[in-house]
Amino acid sequence: MPNASCTNRCASLKKQYFQRKWMNKNWKMLAIGIKQFRRFKKFSKLNETERNSSEIPKRLVRDILNIWPVFIKIGQILSARTDMLPIQYINELQ
């Protein structure tokens, strides 16, 4: 029969592992959000022909797929909001 201190220690280590994993995901999401904000500012300064050939909307899709499957749903929601994003972003998200 395992002693109580071993059981408590294992539970504590497991909790720390999942907290660390959760924090890494949060930092990754924050970093991607900042990158996308900067890219969107750059994208908004482009003229129409440059926007149509830009890789910036494709990067948003790649970043969403790299974060979590939950964010795929956010991408689907954003693709329906033509009032929030330029058409190039919406085409990439669909």
Burial of 64 (0-12, 13-18, 19+ CB in 10 A): buried
68: left (phi over 0), alpha (psi -120 to 50) or beta: beta
DSSP secondary structure letter of residue 68: -
What pLDDT is stored for residue 47 in this prediction?
A: 92
pLDDT number for residue 94: 75
Its domain, for residue 30, covers 4-93
Structural domain count, the chain: 1
**Phi, psi at 19, each rounded to 5°:** -65, -45
Per-residue pLDDT of the chain (94 residues; tens, 9 = 90+): 455 566 667 777 777 776 676 667 777 778 888 888 899 899 999 999 999 898 988 888 888 777 766 677 777 888 888 888 888 888 887 7
Rg (CA), the chain: 20
Name the amino acid, one letter, at 48: E
pTM of the model: 0.56
